[in-house]
Structure 1
Amino acid sequence: MRNLEIQHAYAAVLSRRGTGLRALAIGICINLSACAVAPGMRMTAPASVPVTSGDATTEPTSRPVRIDEITATLIRELQDVAATGGAAQAERLFAKAGPYTLGPGDVLQITVWDHPELAAALGAQQQANSRPFDPPQGFVIDAPGDVYVPYAGSVHVAGSTPEQVQAQIAGALSRVFKKPQVTVRVASFRAKQIYIDGEVRSPGGVPINDIPMTLYEAINRAGGFTPAADQSRMVLVRDGVSYPLDLTDMLEHGTNPTDVALKSGDLLRVVSRDENGVYVMGEVNKPLTAMPMKTGRLTLSEALSQAGSLNNMSADAAQLYVIRGSQATTPRVFHLNARSPVAMVLANQFELQPKDVVYVDSNGLVRLSRVLNLLLPAINAGLTAAIVTK
């Protein structure tokens, strides 16, 4: 449309002479600017996105994009859905931590009172310059889960508590000694551990000991969160299944994080806030990727604040959009008319999600000015050519 009209403009400029030349050029400019006045991102009618089916022979279909006005009712619905989904995921991990049970690799310190000759079976004491991963003095449980004790023989201890092992060894020694007094303690916990990765101060393996390994305990043993941690989007991987954990939501709804018990082999990953940014673009003073707060939360007003707020000279506050799930098959678009200060109350309650796009459209006068700036050089060139040929 624009190319055709520009060609007509050049033809008219070159063919006209006299005082009507400038009037014709101005008329062409006004006619071409009609396209600029049309809405850009207002999306008064639901748009469609192409959806390709799994069958290569099937023609791509289209699915309408859902556009919702941001209201108090919509905000409550989104909050209820988020709270229900997060609570359901966390409940699957709730469990009461039981007593510690021994396993292969654990080191036991077994003491038989009034029989110092048995102390030699514990082995040599660990030297000051020994390596940290060397086992301390004691009895190491072998791969089948057994431990060999002098005069008691091989005792199966895997899956038992230290108290149960103490009774087993005392019973076995009673065949040789009269009323033996036995003490069993764990000198080193090496059979079970979890792994913590991401934004914690000391990532790596954390051994499980007789203190219950809850979510809070695991984070504390890893040194706590770093300033870049997103506390609302942690992931627990167990047996090949990922469970999202929202620590902020759990605290807000009265759920105790200590109810989440971790098991041996679990992987806890604390995601960085840099991975969950929101893109703010359009007519704002500083387009950028807005970062969530330390709690992982980011509202629409907070994202606009990080972007320096709306540009008063070019923004149309009535055309504020949030595009969600742009890479998914069912994206959604949320619209907010922010001309009224009351609308900013809704913006302060509307929570954004990672990878959301916040777009602020320009007003009609700015679009008209930009089109004129593109057309005026061509019109001036045509006028100059007409004057020269005259």
Structure 2
Amino acid sequence: MKHEVMLTEATTIRGTLRPRASRIAGVVLCAALGACAAAPGMQMNGDATLPVSAGGADTPASVESIPIRNIDLSLIRKMQSDATASSGIDDASLLVAPLPYAIGPGDVLQITVWDHPEIAAAAGAPTQGTARTSDPAPGFVVDQNGSLQFPYVGNIRVAGLRPDDARHLLVAQLGKTLRSPQVTLRVASFRSQAVYIDGEVHAPGVQPVNDIPMSIYDAVSRAGGFSSTADQSRVVLIRNGKSHLINFTAMLMQGKSPAQIVLRNKDVVRVLARTDSPVYVMGEVNKPASAVPMTNGKLTLSDALSQAGSLSNTSADPAQIYVIRNAAASDPQVFHLNARSPVAMILANQFDLQPSDVVYVDSNDLVRFGRVLSLLLPAINAGLTAAIATK
């Protein structure tokens, strides 16, 4: 009799739990399918829009649409055309003819007045022994006020004058005392003007400016050239408190030489590193990483995926590769590539990335379903345990 009662109770419990388990399994299946269906970016075969919710917790959310453009041949051609049209320099006023050298404070002038050897003694005797690099050359030093002390003339201002103009002024002043003076004047030591080279060069530091115009290309060469970590497409010229971005690679592609950009006194040239312009690769790749461009500043989509170890064979969906650009700006852009066909990788090899782009590889349907299910299973087990415990 006791066995019959226990059997009847067990049957009743199974009969009660079976409908509940069925309902829970049904809810789980619906939730999992709903999660898969709601996953963004699935099976996008053409241009589409991505809904984005904007607004805070206390304000109604407004929905905006971000267009998603397919990476195809027409897009590649347009981007290449825009790149070709780029001059590589943001200010055309930098491409001007060089100005003649002007004398400034600290310069040392070598001045000779023929048939008057007594004047040569005023220039000072040559330094005996080994001269230091900081020692000025023998001659007349222009003071901080831009003036020069010279025999028979006294104090004469020469700052801002070209050497030839300074010679004519000196001849005119000496003519008041001497008869038909013959004067030669040259700059013996250029110490009034300099430019500063910083960043990814072999020998950063100060470079003096002399009577030979110094271009930005000359300055980099004097600093030992670009280092292996330099990004030749991102050279910054700081002049009068304003920064100008110069792309050496784009200028050379346009047939323009960086030697056309002549530096001026107190200019600062900074060569950025390739690591300063990363592209972030994430999602279903073997090694999520920050991809860096090559030395010429170029980085294609295929290069970035290669640096990230390529797509994951087990979890990636090759049809869902995205490039997010200007994510923090008011006009973000999203590009989509379906790489199921090997031909699509030709497009990836021609799609140039920009600094701070985000490359995202989505997961396939099976992996997405498994991840959603793994999140729901703990709740299912807890519900079944609770149902059994209540009985």
Q: TM tier, shorter chain?
A: 0.7 to 0.9
Partners in 2 of 1:49 and 1:107 — Cα distance?
Answer: 68
**2:89–2:247 CA contact under 8 A, matched in 1:** no
How far the C-alpha of 1:243 sits from its partner, in A, is: 1.5
Instruction: Measure the CA separation in 2 of the matches of 1:132 and 1:152.
Output: 31
Say whether the 8 Å CA contact 1:86–1:245 is kept in structure 2.
Answer: no
| TM alignment of 1:162-173, pairs within 5 A | 162-173=163-174
Q: What do the CA deviations read for 1:351-372 (whole angstroms, capped 9, x no partner)?
A: 1111110000001011111222
Cross-structure match for 1:208: 209
Offset of residue 377 of structure 1? 4.2
Q: Distance in 2 between matches of 1:61 and 1:242?
A: 38
Aligned equivalent of 2:226 = 225
Structure 2 SS opposite 1:96: coil
Shift of 1:21: 7.4
Report deviation, 1:147. 1.5
8 A Cα contact 1:36 1:364, kept in partner:
no
Is the alpha carbon distance of 1:70 and 1:18 closer, same or farther for their aligned partners in structure 2, counting shifts above 3 Å?
closer
The whole-number CA distance in structure 1 between the counterparts of 2:80 and 2:207 is 35
SS in 1 for 2:165: helix
Structure 1 residue 311 displacement after superposition: 0.8
Distance 1:51 1:372, change over 3 A: closer
Could you tell me how far apart the structure 2 residues matched to 1:271 and 1:256 are?
A: 19
Query: Counterparts in 2 of 1:74-223, with a 5 A limit?
Result: 74-87=75-88, 89-126=90-127, 132-223=133-224
Q: Does the 8 Å contact 2:325/2:357 carry over to 1?
A: yes
Q: In the TM superposition, what is the alpha-carbon distance from 1:376 to its structure 2 partner?
A: 3.4
Q: Point out the more displaced range, 349-358 or 264-273.
A: 264-273
Mark the CA change 1:128 to 1:292 in structure 2 (over 3 Å): closer, same or farther: farther
One-letter amino acid of the counterpart of residue 159, structure 2: A
Are the structure 2 counterparts of residues 192 and 15 from structure 1 closer, same or farther at C-alpha, using a change threshold of 3 Å? farther
Distance in 1 (CA, whole Å) between partners of 2:136 and 2:30 is 86
Note the alpha carbon deviations across 1:215-266, whole angstroms, 9 max, x for none. 1111112222222211101121222322210001001111111111122222
Match of 2:285 in 1: 284
Letter in 2 for 1:370: R
Instruction: Measure how far apart 1:304 and its partner are.
Output: 0.4
What is residue 238 of structure 1 aligned with on the other side? 239
1:47 counterpart (18, 31, 51)? 51
Cα distance in 2, alignment partners of residues 18 and 48 from structure 1: 42
- Among the aligned pairs, what percent are the same residue? 51
CA separation in 2, counterparts of 1:213 and 1:164? 22
- Equivalence for 2:349: 348
Flag the structure with larger Rg.
2
Q: Which residue of 2 aligns with 1:315?
A: 316
Q: Residue in 2 aligned with 1:268?
A: 269
Moved more, 158-167 or 330-339: 158-167
> 1:341 is paired with a residue of what secondary structure?
coil
- Is the contact between residue 89 and residue 243 of structure 1 (CA under 8 Å) also seen in structure 2? yes
Using the alignment, how far apart are the partners of 2:124 and 2:20 within structure 1? 107
| Counterparts of 1:172 and 1:122, CA distance in 2 | 18
Q: Deviations over 1:109-131 (max 9, x none)?
A: 11234433222211243465766
Alignment: residue pair count: 372
Q: Distance in 2 between matches of 1:239 and 1:22?
A: 75
Q: Deviations over 1:79-116 (max 9, x none)?
A: 33344454562522101113212122211111234433
Q: Counterparts of 1:363 and 1:205 in 2: how far apart (Å)?
A: 56
**1:68 corresponding residue in structure 2:** 69
Q: Deviations over 1:4-48 (max 9, x none)?
A: xxxxxxxxxx88557777766654443332134225330753323
Deviations 1:153-189 (A, max 9, x none): 3333223222333333344434544554433221211
User: Per-residue displacement from partner, 1:38-94 (whole Å, max 9, x unpaired)?
Assistant: 253307533236389xxxxx9996643232111222223333334445456252210
Structure 2 Cα separation of the partners of residues 138 and 105 of structure 1: 11
Q: Which residues of structure 2 form unaligned runs of 5+? A: 1-12, 43-47
Q: Which amino acid aligns with 2:366?
A: L
SS at structure 2 position matched to 1:220? helix
Letter of the aligned partner of 2:50 in structure 1? P
Q: TM-score, normalised by structure 1?
A: 0.84
- Structure 2 counterpart of 1:322, one-letter code: V
Equivalents in 2 of 1:19, 1:51: separation in Å? 45
SS at 2:94's partner residue?
A: coil
Cα contact 1:41–1:319 (8 A) shared by 2: no
Paired residue secondary structure (2:297) = coil
In structure 2, give the amino acid aligned to 1:48.
V
Unaligned stretches of 5+ residues in structure 1: 1-13, 53-57
Q: Give the root-mean-square deviation of aligned CA atoms.
A: 3.0
Distance 1:102 1:384, change over 3 A: same
Output the amino acid matched with 2:70: E
Give the aligned partner of residue 9 of structure 1: none
Change (3 A) 1:32 1:245: same
SS in 2 for 1:38: helix
Question: Could you say if the C-alpha distance between residues 148 and 388 of structure 1 is closer, same or farther in structure 2, counting changes exceeding 3 Å?
Answer: closer
Once the two structures are superposed, residues 273-295 of structure 1 have per-residue CA deviations (whole angstroms, 9 ceiling, x without a partner) of 11110000000010000011111
Aligned to 2:32: 33
